[in-house]
Amino acid sequence: MMVARQSLNLIAPSALAVAMLIVLQVYLGQWQVPQKKMEHLMYLPDPEYLQLISVGYRELVADALWLQAIQVMGERKISETAGRWLYRAFDIITTLDPKFVRVYEAGGLALTTLVVLPEESNQLLMKGVEHNPDEWKLPFYLGINYYFELYDDGKAGEYMAQASRISGAPSGLVPFAANLFASAKSPQQAVDILATAYHNTSDENAKKLLELRLKIMLAERDVVMLEQAINRYHTVQRRFPARLEDLVAAGMLQQLPQEPGGGQYVYDATTGAVSSSEFPERPKMTGKRRIRRQQ
């Protein structure tokens, strides 16, 4: 009798899990109908309820829900309403299994490719970053969203910088983040991330490339500083300074910066434009962005 009871104790949890998955599969079977599989997303139970009934089998339930969500993601395009239901499904799955990294990655992309819901995509990805801080792709995708979807280069740079600091991240994320900071008119942040990468690398070839990028960004920082001083001078004097030295004489700058490439800063007194003789082409982002929808 004791052996039989022990056997029942071993079998009961497995049987419960199988029964639960069968019930869940019957419920989710409605999704197989092409016209209705998206609509049934709205009837998913709350994650707290699923956590309660899953009794230690949350990962299995999350897997079952994910398999069904994949079918919806197989569509070329979905409506905004269906996209919000899909986001809710992703949220439920990752509440049941916060370490299910694939859901954050694929779900975050689906919410900006199958439908344009960057805010929901960001919420899912930020949830992923919170529970999986060692996954560099999650802040990377956040950076892509802020650049491509939301036109916020500063935020994009911050997430790219965060991704670049995680083990396994491609080295190309550092200059990418630096260019985003430069585009956001925050060249000092670009200088900081490049300088840190330069000091932390032992690869001589990488050091040479980083040194060049660092000089370019130092020149950009100086040009931005000079432009700001020129604008302040113009506001006060109602004209551009005749030469850059006038900025120091007028108290707009303590001293003129030295061009990091060994050249000089070229100034046009008729337009107020200033540039580096060694790096005349200023760093910028050239990637195409999604055209914003009219509000």
pLDDT given at position 47: 64
Asked if the model's pLDDT at residue 15 lies above 50, the reply is no
The total of other beta-carbon atoms located within 10 Å of residue 148's CB is: 15
Distance, in Å, from the CA atom of 235 to the CA atom of 240, rounded to the nearest integer, reads 9
Bigger pLDDT: 145 vs 75: 145
Q: What is the rounded distance in angstroms from the CA atom of residue 259 to the CA atom of residue 278? A: 8
Give the list of residues 6+ apart from residue 85 with CB closer than 8 angstroms, or none.
Answer: 38, 39, 41, 42
CA-based nearest residue to 138, from 193, 95, 96, 101: 101
Q: What is the pLDDT of residue 62?
A: 77
Q: How confident is the model at residue 83 (pLDDT cuts 50, 70, 90)?
A: confident
pLDDT in tens, 17-50: 444 444 444 444 444 434 455 555 555 666 666 6
- The 8-class DSSP code of residue 38 comes to T
pLDDT of residue 155: 97
What's residue 49's pLDDT? 60
How many other C-beta atoms are found inside a 10 Å radius of the C-beta of residue 121? 27
- With cut-offs at 50, 70 and 90, classify the pLDDT of residue 103: very high
Closest CA to 75 of 50, 100, 41, 47: 41
Asked if residue 226 has pLDDT above 60, the reply is: yes
Tens digits of per-residue pLDDT, 122-159? 999 999 999 999 999 999 999 999 999 999 999 999 99
Q: How far apart are CA 25 and CA 158, in angstroms?
A: 42
pLDDT band at 60 (very low <50, low <70, confident <90, very high): confident
Whole-prediction pTM value? 0.79
